[in-house]
Structure 1
Amino acid sequence: MKLRHLAWTLLALVVLGAAAAGGIVAMNLRGEDPLPAQAEAFQSTPQLVERGRYLALAGNCAGCHTTRGGEPYAGGMPIDTPFGTVYSSNLTPDDKAGIGSWSSAHFWRAMHNGRSKDGRLLYPAFPYPSFTQVTREDSDAIYAYLRSVPPAPEPNRAHRLRFPYDTQAALAVWRALSFKPEPFVANAGKPAEWNRGAYLVNGLGHCIACHGSRNSLGATETKLGLSGGLIAVENWYAPSLTDPHEAGVADWPAADVVALLKNGTAPRGSVMGPMADVVFRSTQYLSEADLTAMANYLKDLPDAPKAEAPAVAAAKAPIRRDAGSMARGAKIYDQRCAYCHGDQGQGAAGAYPPLAGNRAVNMARPTNLIQVISHGGFLPSTSGNPRPYGMPPFGQTLDAAEVAAVLTYVRGSWGNDSAPVTQLDTMRR
């Protein structure tokens, strides 16, 4: 009887395991059209190539697929993740190293379904969870452009991921839980310009990859939208685009949002860190119409959920700051910062941003302030701001305690009233 019971238990486990495996396979194949039996005849034109070049800029494809000093789109860029390092692939038309042997259907499957030519599941460091919304027409245009760039025989580098994240089985489970191919669906209740902005922000622009939070498996929390997120490994915080206290632009004139995306600076803010690279490589080259569409979509994002009344009351309670730390911070500020940012944190118009009332200074997370003081901060060089002013790094001259002190002082002076920065905070830089 015991042997029979054990046999039935094992059989049940086998059946359950097979059912789970079958479910995972089915979920990884959902929404996927079979490849054509024969390679289709792809007709490219100069207009299609130019359209693809523009779309590749909108998606900032070169940002990940071109190394510093390397051949355009030859891949090899290391992308550090909490699970290990993923290397970007060669997108040039080289037959062996790149995508020269790929058809436009293969490329579309990679964009829409996250699957390589040989059927392998791709790692979501390639942001196909966002690119899945890209239309087949736009995918074909990007494909046409990539086939026009010079072929580069640089072989793809093997990823360096920890077990079990380096297995296709683990990736299949992740996809079953976290990814579903979905086309972009226009909102019939919104104008065409708004829908164009939504397509660019959520699809090609893959803004949620940085401005969205992630769960323990590294998947973006799509239900939370563009509510802000810590960029893994880089230790930059991409602020919420729905919160007026962070990077929400609902009350900005659309022209100012366009200026920020095109020039890297606007009357009420500027970009640094990873966003400076996005402006430099991508958004500064977009058309005025597309930037305006993005601005109108971003301005229409729903506000972040309001805090409950008790939390609001607690937030308004006076913040206690150590007098010694404030005095130490004031001295550092006078020696290192006041020359540019002013004795009262007023800044200098067109050169150095004001610190008084600056929402980047007053964000709940001091992450970006610590990065800027430690490593410097530089606006992108753009046609509208070709010689931007920058912030020199002080990480080599200020220790963790001094960085904490000066930031505590700045966040508690000239009307600013944000939480002190601790030495522990600065040691995470």
Structure 2
Amino acid sequence: MADAAKKTKHSHAASQAAQPAPRKVRFNVGTQYQVLDVVGEGAYGIVCSAVHRPSGRKVAIKKIMPFDHSMFCLRTLRELKLLKFLSEAGVSENVSVQSSILIPVKNHMTVRLLYGLRSSECELVTMSSYADDFILQIISILDIIKPASLEAFKEVYLIQELMETDMHRVIRTQDLSDDHAQYFVYQTLRALKALHSADVIHRDLKPSNLLLNANCDLKVCDFGLARSVKTAEPSGTETGFMTEYVATRWYRAPEIMLTFKQYTKAIDVWSVGCILAEMLSGKPLFPGRDYHHQLTLILDVLGTPTLDEFYAITTRRSRDYIRALPFRKKKPFSQLFPNANPLALDFLTKTLTFDPKKRITVEQALAHPYLEAYHDPEDEPVAPPLDPEFFEFDLHKDDISREQLKELLYEEIVTFKPVVMT
């Protein structure tokens, strides 16, 4: 391929996404930040764009009101602790670019592409002139507004990188090319490789948790459901795991609903497969209305589980439910996505496998031929394994009062070292 830029014919993925109407809210962030507009809202927080006055840098400020419910406290504490850990490990902006576990983007072949904003089109250019760029695929915390005291601590304000949109909005507003799909899936897997190397499961991957900017750089966000692999086993004391799964069920692996012997990193890989399928078609692959409908949609595509898959389900109630369903033949992905790249279809087959033990790992997904233009294990992030006691508060959450959770959150905030913004 020549070094000349190659243009796609679809509208730019990030720039065309619909944005919410601007409005103002009350943010107590001091004088260093000028709050601009609301860019997103969730169940227990709101995000505004802002300007860091001393540097002039645009940022996002995430206001969290965690003290209305213990679950919100737990989610905020998990996210804050994990993002601090990843910053110190070198997979966010909190470290210098000389770190060996950053994610350098290098040119290995002329077909490798970088997405840049040119007018209303997304221009695909070769990477040779971008060899020194560093793109970090996990959202970072730049600063946290420190409360005056524990008694005055009512809200959490996280200062983060400003991203212009998310994958959910992009998919809803336009068609994505196969090149986009490859690039976005690759970036998502790079983030997952860092998490999984630390023995952490994200547990809530979905399009709205993949943030994008106008250059099509992707950042994974929302780590409120993240958990160490070693503490994510479905036992009699793990009812909170399912109780907390209030997010969209469409991207959940079947083993979560069917209570397999153990929840593994494979649940995140399933979510990646669902997200790719949505990029290819513009609509969710398994938009279940409830638990039963969700399983029905999955089995309509994957077919009735084999005997080995069936007996991997540990609860008799779930096995009885599956046994009572009519037999279903597997539908080939080529039938569901007739215009898709054959390599994308093979990637879907390997990520959307019913048995989590047979599902490919993140490392295997990165090495899949569908992502060959981007994959280089030397350039992909790893992090040190997380101490199993890192999420120890989760093991005793039923015995921890809301006030104790507040104290833990306060301690995390006052010990945070902000990034020097320029």
TM over 0.5: no
Q: Which has the higher helix share?
A: 1
TM range (shorter): under 0.3
TM-score, normalization: structure 2? 0.24
Q: TM-score, normalised by structure 1?
A: 0.23
Q: Please identify which structure carries the higher strand content.
A: 2
Higher relative contact order (CA 8 A, sep 6+): 2
